Structure 1
Amino acid sequence: MKSSIGQYFYSVCRQATQEFRQFGQKATQHLMRTPLPKILIIVLAIALLIAIIPLAISLFVIFVLLKLFAGMLVLNSRPDKTEQTRKVYIHRRFDRD
């Protein structure tokens, strides 16, 4: 006696393969009616998208990292403002006396 779970899994898999096969047949029939130059343009567009999207993402990441690195360099090269402020207050205090 087969388990009900096994029968259910088998029927789900059979239905899924049937759906994929029907989808493939419809796609093949549609491609057979489509003229070849149009298919070529679609394939080239997909290839360009596959090539350009990773390039754009990587350039974005590189520029963000460069901006962060430049910002760290600028912040580290500045003189310490707290020391200058403290000196100004000390001079003002002694000037009053």
Structure 2
Amino acid sequence: MKFSHIDALMRGDAFTILEVNGASSEATHIWDRETRLGEIFTTLLKQYRILYAIGAEQKKRGHKPPSLRALLRAWRQEKQLIQHYPETD
């Protein structure tokens, strides 16, 4: 999300949604050229720790991870969908 001013955002004015991502997306600030490499790795590792904790909790609750076959099927479907996405700069 990008916004001009926090007050405008709070009113629901003057903001743009840049991307809608899932759990594997990165925080956008890590792509800022002024972000230090250490901060980038710290941010990514924190995200991965959170994802691992969510997965561990889901496993405790009895949820099973997808099979390799299911993952490959999902990957192929995503690959086909990508062909229909608009080009980005």
> Could you tell me the TM-score, scaled by structure 1's length?
0.34
**Larger Rg, first or second structure (1 or 2):** 1
The structure with the greater share of residues assigned to helix is: 1
The structure with the greater share of residues assigned to strand is: 2
> Could you tell me the TM-score, scaled by structure 2's length?
0.37
